[in-house]
Structure formats: C-alpha cells, structure tokens
Amino acid sequence: MPRTTTVAVVGGGIGGLAAALALLRAGFDVRVYEQSGAVSQVGAGIQLAPNCARILHRLGVLPAIEKSAFAPATFDFRRWDDGRLLSRTPLGAGIAATYGAPYLHAHRSDLVAVLADAVGPDRIGTGRRCRGVNHDGTGAEVRFADGGTVTADVVVGADGIHSVVREALYGPEQPRFTGHVAYRGLVPAERLSRLNLEPRCTVRLGPGAHFVHYFVSAGRLHNVVCVVEEDSWTRESWTDPGDSEELRAAFTGWHPAVGGIIDALDRPLKWALFDRPPLARWSTGPVTLLGDACHPMLPYGAQGAAQAIEDAAVLAACLEGAGRREVPTALHQYESIRRGRATRVQDMSRANGRRFHLPDGPDQQARDAAMASSFGLSPEIDWLYGHDPMVPETAVA
C-alpha cells in the first residue's frame, strides 16, 4: 500500500490550521509547527464573510463557530462627525440566502480553538520556531530554532507576513509600512449599554482615520478597531501597547458614540499595518506558501483570513489525487488558481484605505454619493462573497 503523503504546515494561525484541516479531510498525514507556546490569537474580533464561511461549513466546523459567534444584521458606513448613515448592506438571513453561507463576527480565539480542536492537539507541535527550509526533488526538510528538523513530502509556509519560509524560497524583503496604524481592543458589552449600540457592523469614515466596531462572542464583547495615519513606525516591534490619550486625541470631534467606546476601552494594542507587493511565485518544488505569507493585505476588506481559508481549500483540492512526484505540478496549479484572486482582493483592500480616509471635500462627497446609491446588497460584491474556489468557472475572477 502506498505511504500517505506527509505535509508539514509551518504556522498555526487561522491559515495554517485551516490548511491542516482541509488536508486532513483529504486524507493527508499533516503536522502543524507553531512557534508560540500555544495556538492562540490576539484578543480581537474577525469578520467571516460568506466566501470563507462556505468553506468552514464544508470542513464541518461552521456549527461550532456559529455557537460563539455573532450574526450582525447589517454592515453600515457612517460619517465621522454627525454619524449620518452613508450606506447599509443587509447581512443576516438575507445574505445567507443570497450566498448560501452566513456573514459572522467571531472572537479570534474562539475561531482558532475550533480549528485546532478539529485538527487535533496531537497533530500540532507548539514552541517550534522554523528557521529555514531545504528541499530537493522528492521532499523537504524544515529546520527549527530548537535544533530539530522534520522531513515531509510537502511543506506549507503559513507563517504570516514575516514568513521565514517565504524568505527561504525567495530571499529577504522587508514588508512596507503603509502609514496606517490600528488600535484594537475588546470591550465587555455591558460597559457600553448606555450607548444602545445596534447589532450591526459599523464603519465610521473620517479624514485620515476610520473607526470599526461590532459585537462578537454571542454579543458579550464589542470589538473595536481604530485606524489612524502615522508618518513612520520606528519601533522594533510590530505591536505596542497603545496610549488611550493619544487615541482619544486622534478621534476628537468624532460622533459621541466613538468617544464613548474609546472611554470604555482598557489599554488598546497598537498595530503597525504593513503590506507587500504581490509575489510572482508562491511555490518552489514541494514547498509552497499560504495566507499572509504570500498575500498580506490591509484589513480594509476584512478578507485576509478569508483568503487564507480559500487558499486552504484550493491547496487540498489540488494535492488530492496527486502522487508524490506530482506535488510540484499540483502546487503550481494551486498558485495559478489563487494568485489572481488574492491580488485582486489585496488591491481592493489598499484602495479602500484611500477611500475611507478622504478629507472632507469634493472627493469625499463623490464617495458618499456613490455609497448612497449602493444601499442594499449590491451584485457588485458577488465576485467577492459569491466566489466558490471549488467551482472552476468562478475560480479565477
């Protein structure tokens, strides 16, 4: 009987765990190697759009995610100062009926716990920091900081924007600071009760900044992301404890709900937002990349994790049925299906960054007029939410 193809996934984030699960379901012998002492995520929320909820459903984990998630009624854009509604997209049952999958808000830790549980703790090695990858025509070896190595028929670098696997394949290249930083935090919902916040995802757009907030954890917590512009990021770390006074000052003059939410935030974390230009190749021999390792994007389409989950589904489908010798061809097929779409979503996210931060004036008025004409669930978003990576006709949008 032929030996089962072995896969080493470097990185136990959302992308790595989704890939491990999809590959396990397809019959591969998979191990995940995560540098941290536990698979865990920053305390923050995440939006799960129908294009990734559909895949999570197929992987059998959507019911468990739904249990702790929150299903928002609408997605609203509002003006920064007077809070005027600029556009409203119905979510809830309507979007689930249109796209065959729901739009959810989850706590990242809940999502990762469900994925890790489905993969199985015995398949996840923690405290394993990858230092490099070597490969030849027949397999690959992953080297770890603890001096250990593992060999596998396929290696998947799902190790995020600062990917070591990417560097091993294509050399060093610093990600670019985008000039945007995000303050993030979670607030217990009861602290916000006097604001009477509705069960919606709200994005408030203003000059040089935007403010996103929505419920997670079955409504027990409110997730807050406040994006502002800074000229440079000189600190060595990618995250810093945020200064609440600095945050309050950045949103002076905004709608009172914004100040009320900031007042309720315990010390938020401050993240520098980086991106990279699209990569020409994702795979070499039996080694490939997935998620932020190959297509990091600004969070302004709420699609980074969704694209990593789409990668996972396509990767497993391309490898399924490929013999060990056909692995490089299968990986080439995977990236050729995924690259165009991931690049399109990266471009959309970058463009949203500019649109969201327009100063008041003619361009902002034109933007708001365009938004006002797109109240409702517009077919213009079909390419994003309606995409099913397992259906060839829609695979390359």
Ligand X SMILES: Cc1cc2nc3c(=O)[nH]c(=O)nc-3n(C[C@H](O)[C@H](O)[C@H](O)COP(=O)(O)OP(=O)(O)OC[C@H]3O[C@@H](n4cnc5c(N)ncnc54)[C@H](O)[C@@H]3O)c2cc1C
Q: For residue 389, state whether it binds ligand X (rule: CB under 6 A).
A: no
Q: Which of 7, 8, 14, 264 binds ligand X (CB under 6 A)?
A: 14
Q: How far apart are CA 69 and CA 57, in angstroms?
A: 14
Instruction: Count CB neighbours of 50 within 10 A.
Output: 25
Q: For residue 303, state whether it binds ligand X (rule: CB under 6 A).
A: yes
Q: Quick one: 44 or 368, whose CB is closer to ligand X?
A: 44
Q: How far apart are CA 103 and CA 112, in angstroms?
A: 17
Chain residues 308-327 in contact with ligand X, contact rule CB under 6 A: 308
157 contacts 287 by C-beta, under 8 angstroms: yes
Q: Which of 72, 102, 139, 160 binds ligand X (CB under 6 A)?
A: 160
149's tokens: 């190595």
Q: How far apart are CA 45 and CA 223, in angstroms?
A: 6
E strand map for the chain: 6-10, 29-33, 45-48, 74-79, 85-90, 104-107, 124-125, 130-136, 139-144, 149-152, 154-157, 176-188, 201-206, 209-216, 221-229, 239-241, 269-275, 287-289
Q: Quick one: 36 or 352, whose CB is closer to ligand X?
A: 36
Nearest to residue 311, comparing CAs of 328, 329, 288? Answer: 288
Q: Which of 185, 304, 328, 353 binds ligand X (CB under 6 A)?
A: 304
Q: For residue 350, state whether it binds ligand X (rule: CB under 6 A).
A: no
Q: For residue 102, state whether it binds ligand X (rule: CB under 6 A).
A: no
| Cβ neighbours for 321, distance < 8 A, ≥ 6 positions apart | none
**x/- site string to ligand X, residues 201 to 230, per CB under 6 A?**
------------------------x-----
Q: Quick one: 41 or 87, whose CB is closer to ligand X?
A: 41
Q: Quick one: 154 or 225, whose CB is closer to ligand X?
A: 225
**Catalytic residue among 214, 300, 334, 385, which?**
214
How far are the Cα atoms of 55, 86, 137, 375 from residue 156, in angstroms, in the given order?
A: 19, 42, 16, 41
Q: How many residues does the chain have?
A: 397
Q: Quick one: 182 or 221, whose CB is closer to ligand X?
A: 182
Only one of the segments 20-28, 299-307, 314-322, 339-347 lies at the binding site for ligand X (rule: CB under 6 A); that segment is 299-307
Chain residues 273-292 in contact with ligand X, contact rule CB under 6 A: 291-292
Locus of tokens 């989850």: 106
Nearest to residue 159, comparing CAs of 23, 330, 19? Answer: 19
Q: Quick one: 182 or 317, whose CB is closer to ligand X?
A: 182
33 assigned to active site: no
Crossing angle of helices 50-58/14-25, nearest 10°? 40
Q: For residue 46, state whether it binds ligand X (rule: CB under 6 A).
A: yes
Chain residues 256-275 in contact with ligand X, contact rule CB under 6 A: 271
Q: For residue 345, state whether it binds ligand X (rule: CB under 6 A).
A: no
Name the site residues for ligand X (rule: CB under 6 A): 10-16, 33-36, 46-47, 128-130, 158-160, 164, 182, 184, 225, 271, 291-293, 299, 302-306, 308
Which residues are designated catalytic?
214
